[in-house]
Amino acid sequence: NGPSSFFNEQEEITDYFLVDKIGEGAFSRVFRAKPVGDSFLAKNYKEVAIKVIKKDHLTPVATATTAAGGAGNTEKLSTKEQVLKEVTLHKIVSGNCPNVVKFIDFKETRSYYYIVQELLKGGEIFNVIVKFTYFSEDLSRHIIRQLGVAVKHLHSIGIVHRDIKPENLLYEPIKYIANPHPKLRESDDPNTKLDEGVFILGVGSGGIGTVKLTDFGLSKQIYHDNTKTPCGTVGYTAPEVVKDERYSMQVDLWGIGCVLYTMLCGFPPFYDDKIDVLTEKISRGEYTFLSPWWDEISDGAKNCVRNLLEVNPEKRYDIDEFLADPWLNKYDSEVNLKS
Ligand code: ADP
Ligand code: MG
């Protein structure tokens, strides 16, 4: 974390000036950075986010087997293969969806890989949950709906994210409020207000801003674009594999369910200090709408969570069913109060 390691990451790259560290993952450090010079990139992006992966920092690991993936679905990839896969998938998905973090550039130097992306100034939704403990139903809906749009985009082109969590959900705070709440009008910086705990961030006033999904490090392509043809050799694939692949998309809906549950009450649906107990609870789908935290939460919201945290992936909401959920499509009270 010291200045010397920071210097190394800067030393090998000339196209970008690394300003400060804004994030850290298991195998990466993420920096706010500025493109150097007067390239096309520098003209279009004042600031970017760069995920830096140290070459010898990442040992070949088996990527996560999905809940539906079953045995034999584990891949072993080298560091380089893993990074290139993440970059390839990020490029594919960041094309034309407002709720996916845009991919900008990729660089490889002697000791590092640099994945350059658009900068999301709000940071992680995770930190907003920590700050406010939990969200109103309106704010939760406003955020989870945007995640739903991102997942719909991924699934429609045959890609499963596999790592949906509040740490991988970033947001860009609202810059301009068309119809500000009276309390927000006092300041032109909605972020300041957010810090002070003004939490009337209804959807009518722009909510929290634009929410975007990132981190395609565990993502996988199941189908090719449009065709619904499975990747890999077609024709010799066993039925259970085809079926597993089809249902592996459903892990993202479970992820959406965990995020929604957490936003509504302030703690995750499954928790235990002992990892084996936790694993057991998850595999049985053992969670509750704990009193008093869930007492005031509507049946509609609970019903939506229930359909997402369904153990059987065939019965669980798919992305289209989720997007059609009655609670998700309720008008936000802020919108109703407007005009
Ligand atoms: P890892 O694969 O190591 O988890 P991520 O891509 O999730 O890496 O990035 C780690 C963290 O860095 C994120 O959780 C977030 O806090 C921060 N971060 C990543 N990308 C951006 C971005 N485009 N804008 C702002 N912060 C980011
Ligand atoms: Mg991450």
ipTM value for the complex: 0.99
Options 20, 38, 56, 163, the catalytic residue: 163
Distances (CA, A) of 232 to 115, 199, 211, 224, 245: 27, 48, 33, 10, 11
pLDDT at position 61, please?
Answer: 54
Q: Compute the distance between CA of residue 100 and CA of residue 115 in angstroms, rounded to an integer.
A: 15
pLDDT at position 285, please?
Answer: 97
Question: Which atom of ligand 1 is nearest the CA belonging to 124?
Answer: 16
Q: Compute the distance between CA of residue 258 and CA of residue 169 in angstroms, rounded to an integer.
A: 13
pLDDT at position 241, please?
Answer: 82
Residue spans of alpha helices (H) in the chain: 3-11, 40-44, 79-93, 125-132, 137-156, 182-185, 190-195, 239-248, 251-265, 275-284, 299-308, 319-323, 333-337
Residue ranges lining ligand 1, Cβ < 6 Å: 22-23, 25-28, 30, 49, 51, 101, 117-120, 123-124, 167-168, 170, 214-215, 217
pLDDT at position 7, please?
Answer: 55
pLDDT at position 220, please?
Answer: 93
Q: Of the ligands numbered here, which is closest to the C-alpha atom of 49? A: 1
* Beta-bridge mates of residue 115: 51, 106
Q: Compute the distance between CA of residue 312 and CA of residue 129 in angstroms, rounded to an integer.
A: 28
Q: Compute the distance between CA of residue 278 and CA of residue 285 in angstroms, rounded to an integer.
A: 10
Contact yes or no for 48/36 (Cβ under 8 A): no
Query: Which residues of the chain fall short of a pLDDT of 50?
Result: 1-4, 62-73, 176-204, 332-339
Q: Of the ligands numbered here, which is closest to the C-alpha atom of 115? A: 1
Q: Any binding-site annotation on 243?
A: no
Nearest residue (by CA) to ligand 1, atom 15, is 23
* Beta-carbon contacts of residue 40 (< 8 Å; ≥ 6 apart): none
* First CA to last CA distance, the chain: 51
Question: Which atom of ligand 1 is nearest the CA belonging to 86?
Answer: 2
Nearest residue (by CA) to ligand 1, atom 1, is 25
Question: Which atom of ligand 1 is nearest the CA belonging to 214?
Answer: 6
Q: State pLDDT tens for residues 100-122.
A: 999 999 999 999 999 999 999 99
Nearest C-alpha neighbor of 62 from the set 218, 250, 167: 218
